[in-house]
Amino acid sequence: MADHLATGCKPKDRWRIGTEHEKFGFRLSDHGPLPYEGDGPTVRKMLEGLTRFGWEPVLEKGKPIALKREGASVSLEPGGQFELSGAPLETVHQTCAEVNSHLREVRAVADEIGAGFLGLGFSPKWTLEETPMMPKGRYGLMKAYMPKVGTLGHQMMFRSCTVQVNLDFDSEATMVKMFRVSLALQPVATALFANSPFTEGKPNGFMSYRAHIWTDTDNNRTGMLPFVFEDGMGFERYVEYALDVPMYFVKRKGEFIDATGLSFRDFLAGKLPVLPGERPTMEDFDDHLSTIFPEVRLKTFLEMRGADGGPWNRLCALPAFWTGILYDDASLDAAWNLVRDWTAEEREDLRRGAAKLALHAPFRDRTLQDIAKDVLAISRDGLRARGRPNGHGENETIFLDELDAIAASGRSPARELLQRYHSGWEYSVDPAFRECAY
């Protein structure tokens, strides 16, 4: 299993950038959520409409639940959140063009059926009961299990949206260094992208309620992973951690077998109660890895998981932010020097402070705003050193401009939304369905 993770090592000239983002579909008529199927605008009609652009449907029990095209996919989160998992691309320019192309396709279909899509980190209006569930087998198992291990798991499943970037490494040592830097700095991304201050039509007391949700979803599979900073960290150490994360399911012949709370170690020994005598395949291990949700996740690449969903320009800014830090040796060294003496307690405090206060969160004798400015300068240096211009001769640093403005002002996107709520929006979140829609 450790060797399997190590297959992700590749020379720098083969490093790629994969961007993922989620968004909320809603009915234009009343701002309600899109059901999977039925009359009026639906998730199913969106999926079927997108096939005109060359997307191939993926079916589960005869129903479309995802789309695939040229290394990319569109999939559904439990509450119908639409997710684009982009293809691995060479530059931020390319991944941004992919995001823009996808949003144009989504808009074309949505306009025809009377739907819209919202770029926020948490559903601002709908209750949990009003939010539909998508017909994917694994989600039924997760829904039943979540209340056993935390209080906010259903909020994560059905009402949150994120933007992520997946990045490569060339060796185990590089992976470890990237992992440590990105875990420590994940609260910086949370603060800069904080965009979820509303719940059921009112302020919820957080700048990133989505980030707060992860603090009590299932602490067996979430968090800041202090062991990553310990001596001996590597592929094998991560496998040991993964084996101790309770299982969700085993997939056999298209069916999801309930294995919630069971041990993958028992599975390895042929002692899984629901499949007695059977041992896992590597595909089973990959499925298991996909059910682990720390702030940074290791597969055969590293996933940055700390940011709220938002408007198209911030969907492009997140891959730029992390690419500049992690893909240039000098920038990676500078970032490691910045965080190397932070304690596990400080990293956890930053995580929670970023969710509550965003850039105003205190850290030692500074604030997260001060750290964000330093980190953005490191990222900009890294992107400049990469020297990847677009057709107009602009390098990838152009995608950091909005983040620089946020850091300079100290005002996260959530603070801007709250100001509108208290003034121009007249204490209603309904204007968000116009002003925050794609």
- The percent of residues above 70 in pLDDT, for the chain, comes to 100
Give the largest Cα separation in the chain, rounded.
64
Burial of 210 (0-12, 13-18, 19+ CB in 10 A): buried
Interacting residues of 163 by C-beta distance below 8 A, sequence separation 6+:
19, 20, 21, 22, 193, 307, 308, 309, 310, 314, 315, 318
At residue 162, the pLDDT reads 98
At residue 98, the pLDDT reads 98
β-bridge mates for residue 76, sequence order: 82
- Mean pLDDT throughout 207-227? 98
Helix (H) or strand (E) holding 116: strand 115-118
Rounded (to 5) percent helix, strand, coil in the chain:
45, 20, 35
CB 264 within 8 A of CB 288: yes
Query: What pLDDT band is residue 422 in, cutting at 50, 70 and 90?
Result: very high
Query: What pLDDT band is residue 390 in, cutting at 50, 70 and 90?
Result: very high
- What are the tens digits of pLDDT across the range 138-164? 999 999 999 999 999 999 999 999 999
At residue 279, the pLDDT reads 98
Compute the distance between CA of residue 264 and CA of residue 284 in angstroms, rounded to an integer.
10
Compute the distance between CA of residue 425 and CA of residue 158 in angstroms, rounded to an integer.
25
- Report which of 193, 152, 15 is spatially closest to residue 89, judged by C-alpha positions: 15
| Average pLDDT value over all residues in the chain | 98
- Mean pLDDT throughout 242-263? 97
At residue 161, the pLDDT reads 98
At residue 241, the pLDDT reads 98
- What are the tens digits of pLDDT across the range 90-134? 999 999 999 999 999 999 999 999 999 999 999 999 999 999 999
At residue 385, the pLDDT reads 98
At residue 179, the pLDDT reads 99
- What are the tens digits of pLDDT across the range 7-43? 999 999 999 999 999 999 999 999 999 999 999 999 9
Segments in 327-400 forming alpha helices (H): 329-339, 344-357, 368-386
Compute the distance between CA of residue 80 and CA of residue 24 in angstroms, rounded to an integer.
7
- Mean pLDDT throughout 197-208? 98
Compute the distance between CA of residue 90 and CA of residue 75 in angstroms, rounded to an integer.
23
- The percent of residues above 90 in pLDDT, for the chain, comes to 100
At residue 237, the pLDDT reads 98
- Report which of 206, 201, 207 is spatially closest to residue 430, judged by C-alpha positions: 201
- Report which of 297, 378, 296, 303 is spatially closest to residue 337, judged by C-alpha positions: 378
Between CA 58 and CA 61, with CA 153 as vertex, the angle to 5 degrees is: 20
Considering the domain delimited by 2-245+292-435, tell me its CATH architecture.
2-Layer Sandwich (3.30)
- Mean pLDDT throughout 270-285? 97
- What are the tens digits of pLDDT across the range 290-325? 999 999 999 999 999 999 999 999 999 999 999 999
At residue 350, the pLDDT reads 98
Burial of 392 (0-12, 13-18, 19+ CB in 10 A): exposed
Interacting residues of 320 by C-beta distance below 8 A, sequence separation 6+:
92, 379, 383, 396, 397, 399, 400
- What are the tens digits of pLDDT across the range 320-366? 999 999 999 999 999 999 999 999 999 999 999 999 999 999 999 99
- What are the tens digits of pLDDT across the range 168-182? 999 999 999 999 999
CB 87 within 8 A of CB 30: no
- Mean pLDDT throughout 186-209? 98
Which long-range CB contacts under 8 A does 171-178 form with residues at least 24 apart?
Answer: 171/9, 172/6, 172/9, 172/234, 172/235, 175/8, 175/9, 175/234, 175/235, 175/298, 175/302, 176/228, 176/233, 176/234, 177/332, 177/336, 178/302, 178/326, 178/332
